[in-house]
């Protein structure tokens, strides 16, 4: 992680939708709140859903689990479809923007993009490695300025110490029949098993429940869905 620190992005659909609209996502797809993981609350989420963004605390349990998980997958291996778009996080507090980029870049053939930043970013970084994409983002003044502007529009107080933020965004996406967790702090995507276009929301909810079960005393979880409106 570099010394570069952005302001944290708020997990507020209004803020994030304004942010991605500036970058070129048409309003036919928008981020919406997921108010709970019970079937009746999932039924309230506009469908279809092509990605989820999860905000959760970076607790000691998260770090410990991540180390164990990465070691296990490096030993045992996993299937990662080559079409999965993944980038590493090199900037502090950039996880909100990276989560958005993961959600949209892995659905470029479903969402509608205008000519603008998002389309240019996806096209320009298509053949880069995950590390090269992270470095490209770090040197991109356009996205950093848009992120900073959106971070200042949130309702939460802006932290005086940017290093003190311990909340983290990850994206869940569907690619070619599998559900992937995309966390820029990890060295690679995590394959959570099979899914379909029709069952992605329910399957993603099960993954979110696993996140919560790792630290059941922690209540600070927020979930957003990228839905067709």
Helices (H), the chain: 13-23, 39-42, 60-76, 95-105, 117-125, 130-138, 141-152, 200-213
Here the tokens at position 4 are 């570069």
Crossing angle, helix 141-152 and helix 13-23, to 10 degrees? 150
Locate tokens 């892995």: which residue?
106
Which sequence positions are flagged as catalytic?
95, 168
CA pair distance 193, 173, nearest whole angstrom: 11
């Amino acid at each position: 992680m570099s010394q570069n620190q952005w302001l944290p992005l708020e997990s507020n659909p209004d803020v994030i939708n304004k942010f991605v609209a500036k970058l070129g996502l048409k309003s036919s797809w928008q981020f919406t709140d997921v108010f709970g993981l019970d079937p009746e609350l999932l039924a309230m989420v506009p469908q279809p859903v092509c990605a989820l963004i999860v905000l959760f605390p970076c607790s000691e349990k998260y770090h410990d689990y991540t180390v164990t998980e990465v070691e296990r997958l490096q030993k045992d291996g996993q299937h990662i479809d080559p079409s999965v778009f993944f980038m590493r996080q090199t900037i502090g507090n950039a996880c909100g923007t990276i989560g958005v980029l993961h959600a949209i870049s892995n659905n470029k053939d479903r969402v509608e993009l205008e000519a603008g930043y998002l389309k240019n970013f996806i096209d320009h970084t298509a053949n880069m490695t995950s590390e090269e994409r992270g470095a490209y983002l770090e040197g991109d003044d356009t996205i950093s300025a848009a992120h900073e502007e959106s971070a200042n529009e949130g309702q939460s107080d802006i932290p005086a110490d940017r290093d003190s933020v311990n909340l983290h965004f990850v994206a869940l996406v569907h690619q070619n029949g599998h559900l992937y967790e995309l966390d820029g702090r990890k060295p690679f995507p995590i394959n959570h098993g099979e899914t379909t276009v029709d069952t992605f929301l329910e399957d993603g909810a099960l993954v979110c429940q696993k996140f919560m079960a790792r630290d059941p005393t922690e209540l600070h979880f927020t979930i957003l869905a990228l839905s067709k409106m």
